[in-house]
Amino acid sequence: MSNTDQTLANLLQEDRRFDPPAELAAHANLTAEAYDRAAADREGFWAAQAERITWAEPFTQVLDWSDPPFAKWYVGGKLNAAYNCVDRHVEAGRGDKVAIHFVGEPVGDTRSITYAELQDLVSQAANALTDLGVAAGDRVAIYMPMIPEAVVTMLACARIGAPHTVVFGGFSSDALASRLEDCQAKVVVTADGGYRRGAASALKPAVDEARTKAETLGHTVEKVLVVRRTGQEVEWDDSVDVWWHDAVDGASTQHTPEAFDAEHPLYVMYTSGTTGKPKGILHTTGGYLVGCSYTHWAVFDLKDDDVYWCTADIGWVTGHSYIVYGPLANGVTQVLYEGTPDSPERGRWWDIIEQHGVTIFYTAPTAIRSFMKQGREIPDARDLSSLRLLGSVGEPINPEAYVWYRHVIGGDRTPVVDTWWQTETGSIMISPLPGVTAGKPGSAMIPIPGVAAEVVDEEGKPVPNGSGGYLVLTEPWPSMLRTIWGDDERFKETYWSRFAKQGYYFAGDGAKKDSDGDLWVLGRVDDVMNVSGHRLSTTEIESALVSHPKVAEAAVVGAKDEDTGQAVCAFVILREEAGDGGDDIVAELRKHVRKEIGPIATPRQIMIVPELPKTRSGKIMRRLLRDVAENREVGDVTTLADSSVMDLISSGLSGGKGDE
Ligand code: PRX
């Protein structure tokens, strides 16, 4: 039995079921009839969901799918995303409602911002960006800590029709530079630094370096707008750098939002693919906002008095869809937390839930597993009784973590919604509905109303219940990616060529249907890894390693890891002239990867090997390396060009250098 089959068999023995709480079911936003209603008239269903949004001009057609895979949703409609997330709530008399309870990492550093205040801030930032020369269509990069100004900047960009590209603050200056160049960002918005793990962590120096690097790639960033957050010393270039407090604080709070076409680009989010070059996923305005707003309302059963908290970073798609666009379009009150879960001490998250009376909490399995390890005494010492719904995202949640989450954090009252989606899908696709579904620990269950998914075999035929295959989306959906920025061909090739005949979107994940037809997502079937819910490309890390002068060749695999889901394991062949690489070679290579990509990509393990297993056509057989990395007996080696290679690797490892 292969490793995946074994996991599957274990998962499918899971027979615990958790019914929706009666009270929640009785008042649920979405009930079981929605599945049939959506299936009977999918476009009609999505037309109805679009009524959640305020349109400056109504659309004339729900979907134009005449040139697949290039979709147009809500054709002819015009809207402003920031108006929808902010102004309309103020106009409706809800200006005094708190939009954001900001919690900085330093204890006591809090700030609550109402919708009326948010409207002023976004208008000021929109005016300031315009003054800096940003016009509709120009790209603005955002490299910021989790502070209100990050949300304000995203909304200000949306308000003036300038697509933003948020780059996660943990990425290196090299990674930032390549993104600045790829999307030709005119302005970068950053901060001197942010607080992480009890200390000020600098951001501005990485922007300075990235700007210089982008210059060598032929791209000039015109302005850098800098929030003073930590008060750290920063290098300053008067011709480029502008303080936020100089440009924004004094700007007018009056700004008229312009209505943009439903298909106007809203943002580009870079994500790892199967090649070394990150893909700029393009989302547009109307369909994306409808998708985020509808799913946030339906999957989290959002009510007006909820206090919502999503712990994602705005540098990832979850922060875009479920901190900024979905929740704010829905006029929610939410918590925004800057720092790490264990600063200044391990119970920080639970303190925040208690202090703010959080009712809906959305986080990642990797975090849940680390809390399980720390022990239940920590959350048990806090009052978490305000919680009524828990969500999970980013990777498959193992049944133990699901049950612990529900039991210890949710006091057995709360449904857990395991939400499957991707940067590309823009919003949640597969998830239980909290008022309808009897949840199974470890299963994302079925597509939500309006979404059509299948598990298919190599030929694109649906597999029967009880079998596994490839996860596909069989119908277009409003928040779908529109293309890869500047690369329509790669867009077609990556997502639409595998099942071109059927016209299915190929998600890159494997999944299984259980005997009830419920879906269990098993993880990636391509060369993409999922480390602590972060998406990393094996090839991207391989090219980072090969760019080191001592490295001749490298192969990277994602190996199972109890804490992080998967961990990066690298096999490296050194150049002859590098000899044995020296005593510090492993540390040197790990440092190099951090510099090239960022700390999240640092290999857990680097093994210096004499050879790599390859097929006769020269393709690296990662499957065999995964066996080694996971300490398993090495599988079938008959397709290797040289079947003795695995022996060489194993013997090299027992006597050679490795690193844990
Ligand atoms: O493999 C799936 C996994 O995360 C991938 C998408 O990563 P990214 O675009 O970074 O978006 C993460 C947040 C939406 C998917 O292809 N994934 C995400 N959610 C789940 C999941 N795997 C299993 N269960 C989930 N709930």
Residue 22, domain member (yes or no)? no
- pLDDT tens per residue across span 99-131: 999 999 999 999 999 999 999 999 999 999 999
Question: Cα(164)–Cα(151) distance, rounded to whole angstroms?
Answer: 11
Q: Pairing state of beta strands 468-473 and 453-456?
A: antiparallel
Residue 498 to residues 139, 278, 472, 522, Cα–Cα distance (Å):
32, 20, 10, 19
Q: How far is the CA of 468 from the centre of ligand 1 (A)?
A: 18
Q: Which atom of ligand 1 is nearest to the CA of 528?
A: 1
Question: Cα(55)–Cα(77) distance, rounded to whole angstroms?
Answer: 7
Instruction: Work out the angle at residue 224's Cα, subtended by the Cα atoms of residues 218 and 225, and round it to the nearest 5 degrees.
Output: 160
Distance of CA 448 to the CA centre of its chain: 19
Task: Retrieve residue 71's tokens.
Answer: 């979709």
444 CB near ligand 1 (under 6 Å): yes
Q: Whose CA is nearest to atom 21 of ligand 1?
A: 395
Residue 74, domain member (yes or no)? no
Q: Whose CA is nearest to atom 18 of ligand 1?
A: 394
Contact (Cβ atoms closer than 8 angstroms) between residue 609 and residue 572: yes
Q: Considering the chain, what percentage of its residues have pLDDT values greater than 90? A: 87
User: How many CB atoms sit inside 10 A of residue 384's CB?
Assistant: 19
Q: Pairing state of beta strands 453-456 and 483-484?
A: unpaired
Residue 595, domain member (yes or no)? yes
Domain count, the chain: 1
Question: Cα(343)–Cα(378) distance, rounded to whole angstroms?
Answer: 13
- pLDDT tens per residue across span 396-449: 999 999 999 999 999 999 999 999 999 999 999 999 999 999 999 999 999 999
Residue 163 to residues 183, 263, 281, 284, 628, Cα–Cα distance (Å):
10, 12, 12, 9, 44
Sign of the torsion formed by the C-alpha atoms of 524, 529, 530 and 535: negative
DSSP-assigned states of every residue in 133-185: T--TT--EEEE--SSHHHHHHHHHHHHHT--EEE--TTS-HHHHHHHHHHHT-
Contact (Cβ atoms closer than 8 angstroms) between residue 309 and residue 358: yes
Residue 518 to residues 299, 300, 428, 543, Cα–Cα distance (Å):
17, 20, 16, 38
Question: The domain containing residue 619 runs over which residues?
Answer: 548-654
Domain CATH code at residue 583: 3.30.300.30
- When pLDDT is averaged across residues 252-278 and rounded to a whole number, the result is 94
Instruction: Work out the angle at residue 26's Cα, subtended by the Cα atoms of residues 24 and 32, and round it to the nearest 5 degrees.
Output: 95
What residues does 18 pair with on adjacent strands?
Answer: 439
Contact (Cβ atoms closer than 8 angstroms) between residue 389 and residue 437: no
CA-nearest of 245, 240, 242 to 210 is 240
Give the residue, out of 272, 420, 427, 524, with the most ligand 1 atoms within 8 A of its beta carbon, to mutate for a pocket test: 420
Instruction: Work out the angle at residue 550's Cα, subtended by the Cα atoms of residues 548 and 553, and round it to the nearest 5 degrees.
Output: 80
pLDDT at 620: 85
pLDDT at 642: 81
- Rounded to two decimals, what is the model's pTM? 0.93
Contact (Cβ atoms closer than 8 angstroms) between residue 510 and residue 523: yes
pLDDT at 367: 95
Q: How far is the CA of 319 from the centre of ligand 1 (A)?
A: 13
234 CB near ligand 1 (under 6 Å): no
Question: Predicted confidence band at 9 (pLDDT cuts at 50, 70, 90)?
Answer: low
Residue 12, domain member (yes or no)? no
Contact (Cβ atoms closer than 8 angstroms) between residue 71 and residue 64: yes
Q: Does the pLDDT at position 604 exceed 90?
A: yes
613 CB near ligand 1 (under 6 Å): no
Q: Whose CA is nearest to atom 11 of ligand 1?
A: 422
Flag the least confident range among 2-16, 207-221, 380-394, 433-447.
2-16
592 CB near ligand 1 (under 6 Å): no
Q: How far is the CA of 425 from the centre of ligand 1 (A)?
A: 10
Question: Cα(176)–Cα(541) distance, rounded to whole angstroms?
Answer: 15
391 CB near ligand 1 (under 6 Å): no
Please provide the average confidence, as pLDDT, over all residues in the chain: 94
Question: Cα(321)–Cα(332) distance, rounded to whole angstroms?
Answer: 13
327 CB near ligand 1 (under 6 Å): no
Listed in order, strand segments (DSSP E) in 357-401 are 360-363, 389-393
- pLDDT tens per residue across span 435-488: 999 999 999 999 999 999 999 999 999 999 999 999 999 999 999 999 999 999
- pLDDT tens per residue across span 582-601: 999 999 999 999 999 999 99
Give the residue, out of 422, 423, 470, with the most ligand 1 atoms within 8 A of its beta carbon, to mutate for a pocket test: 422
320 CB near ligand 1 (under 6 Å): no
Instruction: Work out the angle at residue 308's Cα, subtended by the Cα atoms of residues 53 and 361, and round it to the nearest 5 degrees.
Output: 125
Q: Does the pLDDT at position 1 exceed 50?
A: no
Instruction: Specify the residue for token string 């039995």.
Output: 1
- pLDDT tens per residue across span 504-544: 999 999 999 999 999 999 999 988 999 998 989 998 899 89
- pLDDT tens per residue across span 164-197: 999 999 999 999 999 999 999 999 999 999 999 9
Residue 348, domain member (yes or no)? no
418 CB near ligand 1 (under 6 Å): yes
Check residue 618 and give left, alpha or beta (phi > 0: left; psi -120 to 50: alpha). Answer: left
pLDDT at 15: 84
User: How many CB atoms sit inside 10 A of residue 218's CB?
Assistant: 8
User: How many CB atoms sit inside 10 A of residue 261's CB?
Assistant: 19
pLDDT at 423: 97
Residue 186 to residues 181, 214, 403, 497, 605, Cα–Cα distance (Å):
10, 11, 47, 34, 38
CA-nearest of 471, 603, 485, 480 to 536 is 603
Q: Pairing state of beta strands 307-310 and 528-531?
A: unpaired
- pLDDT tens per residue across span 538-562: 988 998 999 999 999 999 999 999 8
521 CB near ligand 1 (under 6 Å): yes
Give the residue, out of 166, 318, 440, 535, with the most ligand 1 atoms within 8 A of its beta carbon, to mutate for a pocket test: 535
Q: Whose CA is nearest to atom 25 of ligand 1?
A: 420
My answer on whether omega of the bond before 441 falls inside 30° of 0, hence cis, is no
Residue 587, domain member (yes or no)? yes
Q: Which atom of ligand 1 is nearest to the CA of 321?
A: 14
Residue 410 to residues 124, 310, 351, 359, Cα–Cα distance (Å):
40, 15, 15, 10
- Dihedrals φ, ψ of 359, to 5°? -105, -30
Q: Whose CA is nearest to atom 3 of ligand 1?
A: 395
Residue 101, domain member (yes or no)? no
Residue 565, domain member (yes or no)? yes
Burial of 194 (0-12, 13-18, 19+ CB in 10 A): buried
